Chain A
Amino acid sequence: METEQLRKTIEKVQAGDTVAYEALLAAYGSRLYGYFYRATGHHHDAEDLLSECTLRLVRTLKNYDDRGRFEPWLFRIAANLVRDRIRRSKTRPRPISLSVEDDNGKSFAAELPGDCPAADANALAAEASWEVRQAMESLDEPTRQMILLRHFGDMSFKEIAKVFECPLGTTLAKVHRGLAKLRKILEANSSNHVGYAVPAGNGEVKL
């Protein structure tokens, strides 16, 4: 969303315009969901967090000061929600069902990789997604969050350092090491297949 258009949309939302709010969700919903999913590793959690985040946005958007950048502000809220969720899940393990289907009719079992290489594009994309998820889970929590906030929230390193109350140099060092680790894991996985699948934005898979 363009800066000026975003400013006007935010003003409308602050005035209580629900249509403007829907436009805001349409613009950022996908990125928020992607962040929540990659941060928690579960579609159910991602959906819950997206709902929580939108409600939080309704409550806090009236206090938003347009002098700041909207995306880092929005993703700081999202990061706090994820942090709370992870903290809660550590003290209260969540049950996982292999058979219960989500809203898309997919079960957790369907996400598990098989022994054989996937035969079609969708399965390959799911496989790639699973490998990315595994690679992300190999990172420590702060590093994973930093990389995700950088990607989804378009945050500067300075903003990320502020969120994690971490020195700027240390923040980049963590991100650098995390990215190197991810690359190593993903390259190792890709060498096990005929070609490494990279899902394109339209859902197709490039080999």
Chain B
Amino acid sequence: MNMTDEQYERIARYLDGEEVSPPLSAEELAVAEEIGQAETKLTGLLDVALPAAAEDRAKRRAVAAMAGRRRASRVGRAFGVGLSIASAAAVLLFAVNIWRETFRPPTQEPPTPVVSTNVWVKAMQIGDNDEFAIELDILAEQLDTEEAEIVDLTIADSSPATGFDNSMEYLQESVDKFWDTNTITISEEI
């Protein structure tokens, strides 16, 4: 009997105990029965007695493996507990340090900061100097004006020096002079 794959699939579902719709044809049922009978005939032929030694060996290995897993599990748990204790100790140490920094008595010396405090104090003092700030504002204003003129003018590389060039040069010199003077002053004070 030649069956198609679709028919075999229907028979397989039937043999697996599923409901097949539409029901199997007489031909399909005959194949299903043939397969069932052939399988029944094999029942006594394929079975092999398990040798006692093989069974014992398999049991021994399995039991040993289970014992090994239990041991590993215990070691793992112990390691886990150890790790937890170490983590807890680290957290505690960190918390104590934070507490000490927060509630440190005022009489004690403060910790040395990464940047010297003097630098910041001087910088703030310079920032608060009104005269200095006014000079900076004037220079910044001049720079802005000159830059705006540069945008409007197109100057050829080969062009002779103009009044604009001269004023730019003068301005640059003024800026350099200003920074030379004030930088030295700041360095010396620090």
Chain A residues near B (Cβ < 8 Å):
16, 18, 21-22, 25-26, 29-30, 33-34, 37-38, 43, 46-47, 50-51, 53-55, 57-59, 102-104, 128-129, 132, 147-148, 150-152, 156-158, 161, 167-173, 175-176, 179-180, 182-183, 186, 198-201, 203
Contacts and interface: CB of A to CB of B under 8 A. Distances in A.
Given A58-B69, A151-B39, A169 B48 contact: no
Given A16-B69, A29-B55, A51-B61, A198 B45 contact: yes
A168 B48 contact: no
Nearest to B41: A183
Interface in B19-67: 31, 34-35, 38-39, 41-51, 53-55, 57-59, 61-63, 65-67
Given A46-B54, A157-B15, A158-B16, A169 B46 contact: no
A46 to B, nearest CB: 7
Interface string B63-89: 101110110000000000000000000
B51 A152 contact: no
27 contacts: A16-B70, A25-B55, A29-B55, A34-B46, A34-B48, A53-B58, A54-B59, A58-B65, A102-B51, A103-B53, A104-B51, A132-B45, A148-B46, A150-B39, A151-B39, A151-B42, A152-B46, A156-B17, A157-B12, A161-B12, A169-B6, A172-B8, A173-B3, A175-B35, A199-B44, A199-B47, A201-B44
Main secondary structure of the interface of A (DSSP, over half): helix
A146 B45 CA distance: 16
Interface of B: 3-9, 11-13, 15-17, 31, 34-35, 38-39, 41-51, 53-55, 57-59, 61-63, 65-67, 69-70
Contacts, number: 144
A168 B13 contact: yes
Nearest to B17: A156
A59 B61 CA distance: 12
Nearest to B42: A151
A54 B8 contact: no
A161 B5 CA distance: 13
A129 B44 contact: no
B38 to A, nearest CB: 4
A22 B63 contact: yes
Nearest to A155: B16
